[in-house]
Structure 1
């Protein structure tokens, strides 16, 4: 497997240098830029690069173009997965970022070891999405209007393909495997987001909310929230 190649956008040059060195020492190539405009330029160039980026780590507060504006422009430029860097306590930025399609977030100042774990988890999911998983690993899925092709990572409902992120696909797959059962938030966080559920962490809820919006044209309440317990797929 080739060395992961990421782009880090943050205007704190001292921090980015430290993170760059840490990530390089742990087998990740990291290019650093310091404003949103340059992030967009680099991603456009990377579309034609022989060594494309596997992941974007994006600070919200940046000069020229802020991180949320970069996220809004991103679908027209690249389908690269994104981890946001947000200031401690800025929950609204995290929620908006996840709603705009970011895969994960981490608060600043961040622990480099935690950032490394988040990077590896998101890259692993995105590479499975790109390459497909070995069919021998798949168990038959329950019958449903929802069809998930685990090799091609394609999601369809009633024959209509839905555009979902890698994280959203994994969430749907986990819920479909236990269709009709209530799946706890703690289990989903651990097995899909690959981290323990933390108090006040709403990232799982936001991912589920995005999925609901995509599925609601086909069902009024495709994923039920069972208060105090978790989520239940009813399609």
Structure 2
């Protein structure tokens, strides 16, 4: 099996060399990049399974690059940056990053996060024939096998991979209050860290996309100090 291809985009060659060497030691093929245009060219010719993206690129907006990746390609995206402010992290997750790591970082932890994202985005094994893969709730139709969500009017909804995975977990456990740790473990394969708002950000984005029907103003309910619950009844489609 060919090694998985990763791309590292950072304006500091020392960092890209360090990451390339360390990740190669863990069985990855790594392309080092130092400009957004080089990443876009790579995506068109040899797309990586996951991109490690620095936001602080001279003369470039790292968040714009992140948005372009999400709009045009399906790949893992881990932001690795010196911007540790909570607002920057929220914005990074808002544009669709799968994870957000601040510098300085522990190399072993970074590899663990990369592997967790790759596990989450890889195609799932086909479920048993008896297991339902299509669900209906509040007029919406969720097709897990096709990774598609359709609105009550039949139009497809645009969700990021993280939002879709989160909705699948909520649908499978409809009516149950799910903790943030449970949701993070079942969507990203890791436990929540101190002040980790990843799930809160994704729930907020998901709400804005599916709670637009006036007949169902609150599909995902917050339960204080407990987590989130999908409120409407769910049935196999």
Normalised to the residue count of structure 1, the TM-score between the two structures is 0.87
Alignment of 1:1-235 (within 5 A): 1-34=1-34, 38-47=35-44, 49=45, 51-87=46-82, 89-128=84-123, 132-136=124-128, 139-140=131-132, 143-144=136-137, 145-158=139-152, 159-218=154-213, 219-235=216-232
CA distance in 2, matches of 1:86, 1:42: 17
Deviation string 1:178-207 (CA, Å, 9 cap, x unpaired) is: 101111111111221211111211111111
Q: What are structure 2's unaligned runs of at least 5 residues?
A: 233-237
Name whichever structure is richer in helix by fraction: 1
Q: What are structure 1's unaligned runs of at least 5 residues?
A: none
- Out of 169-178 and 87-96, give the one that drifted further: 87-96
Residue number in structure 1 paired with 2:235: none
Contact 1:183–1:232 (8 Å) recurs in 2: yes
Residue 186 of structure 1 aligns to a residue whose secondary structure is helix
Residue 84 of structure 1 aligns to a residue whose secondary structure is strand
CA distance in 1, matches of 2:207, 2:193: 22
Deviation string 1:73-128 (CA, Å, 9 cap, x unpaired) is: 33454333311113263211111111111111111111111111211222222222
Contact 2:36–2:60 (8 Å) recurs in 1: no
CA distance in 1, matches of 2:129, 2:191: 25
Contact 1:223–1:231 (8 Å) recurs in 2: yes
Aligned residues: 227
CA distance in 2, matches of 1:138, 1:125: 23
- Two-structure CA RMSD over aligned residues (Å): 2.1
CA positional deviation for 1:39 = 2.6
Residue 15 of structure 1 aligns to a residue whose secondary structure is helix
CA distance in 1, matches of 2:25, 2:130: 35
Normalised to the residue count of structure 2, the TM-score between the two structures is 0.86
